Amino acid sequence: MKPSLRAAFSAAVFAVALVVSPAPAQAAPLTMLGADVSSLQRTLDLGGKYYNASGVQANPYDILKTAGVNYARLRVWNNPASGYNNKAKVLQQAAAIKAKGLKLMVDFHYSDTWADPGKQYPPAAWASYSLSQLQTAVYNYTYDVCTSLKSAGLTPDSVQIGNEINVGMLWPRGQVVNSNFAPLASLLKQGYNATKACNSGTQVIIHTADADSMSNMRWFYDGIRNAGVTWDITGLSYYCMWHGTLANLYNVIVDARTRYGKPVAIVETAYQFTTGDADSEKNSIPGTVLCDNIPATSAGQAQQFTWVQNTARNAGAIGVFYWEPTWYAIKGNGWDPANINGTGDGWDNMATFDWGGKVNPYIKWTA
């Protein structure tokens, strides 16, 4: 997910007709109650503070745990200009995460910057690599990050091999063209093998933003399965303003779970708590496109997140992750790693902490 890229899709508005009731008794609980906190270390380094529902300053991980979080997700970029979200910073933040008793997911973008459905740029150091060289690089890099964490006593519980790789990763070598999945599959296999060589118990997630479409989901996961790719968890992004109704989400989860015989997790979701903008950076999601007629308020944000969790649970998913709940607007924590001080936060109306760092008291992660 890259906040600024999503604005182009805001015209794709979906009317949501389904009201999801509380999860039935027979629904299995969600075991991955997650938060992507990739920007958090930068905020803390800049002196940012976080406050609990009572307005008392507290450790942000403790605040999230009180709200129900048991799993943290961190993106890793190869060599970002900002010096954040690289291996060293992931190791630092992973130590804080594990010290709080949270599980850890590492999200490999295989890029120096944002990788998402609209772009999958290889790291500058890999730009001239052949497909064969990229296969080696993916293996070595994945193994290096994973074993560095393991050696520090911070073994990741899961990893993503790529981020929102709807049509491949490491373009153009790993891009899916004319439904030829072989190049991408060769890279995914290397990531899987490296992860298992590091630690056989670490679960491998293959992540797309295909919660919007049964046909797109099947095209991609059929494609990699038929090309011999193995994975442990199917990961999907779901943002209601881009990815359609909760009824459709339910159907996609059920189909993915049963078709591939693997657990499904929503590894990214979020909703706005305001239409306002805290800084000079345009909001990625203006907040004017509502889902289920839920208002852009703190209570509305919590309601939408609860409904997503209920839908996922009812469909048999194992987890839901809120994307960047701690990324409130603080000067110097911009979205562009090449200009982190000169850009702002396009996510300030989507975080679960307000512009002063106080948590939304209504929002809960529920098993």
pLDDT tens digits for 272-316?
Answer: 999 999 998 999 998 888 999 999 999 999 999 999 999 999 999
Catalytic residues: 164, 268
| Overall CATH class of domain 32-323 | alpha beta
CB 52 within 8 Å of CB 350: no
The stretch 209-227 carries a mean pLDDT of 97
Whether the upstream peptide bond of residue 172 has omega within 30° of 0, thus cis, is yes
pLDDT higher than threshold 50 for residue 9: no
Mean pLDDT for the chain overall: 93
Q: For residue 58, what is the DSSP state?
A: -
| Distance separating alpha carbons of residues 116 and 1, to the nearest angstrom | 6
CA distances from 52 to 58, 62, 68, 172 (A): 6, 9, 13, 45
**pLDDT band, residue 21 (cuts 50/70/90):** very low
Q: Which residues contact 136 (CB under 8 A, 6 or more apart)?
A: 190
| Distance separating alpha carbons of residues 334 and 330, to the nearest angstrom | 8
- 334: amino acid identity, one letter: G
Q: 0.95 cut: is pTM over it?
A: no
For tokens 């090309």, name the residue: 227
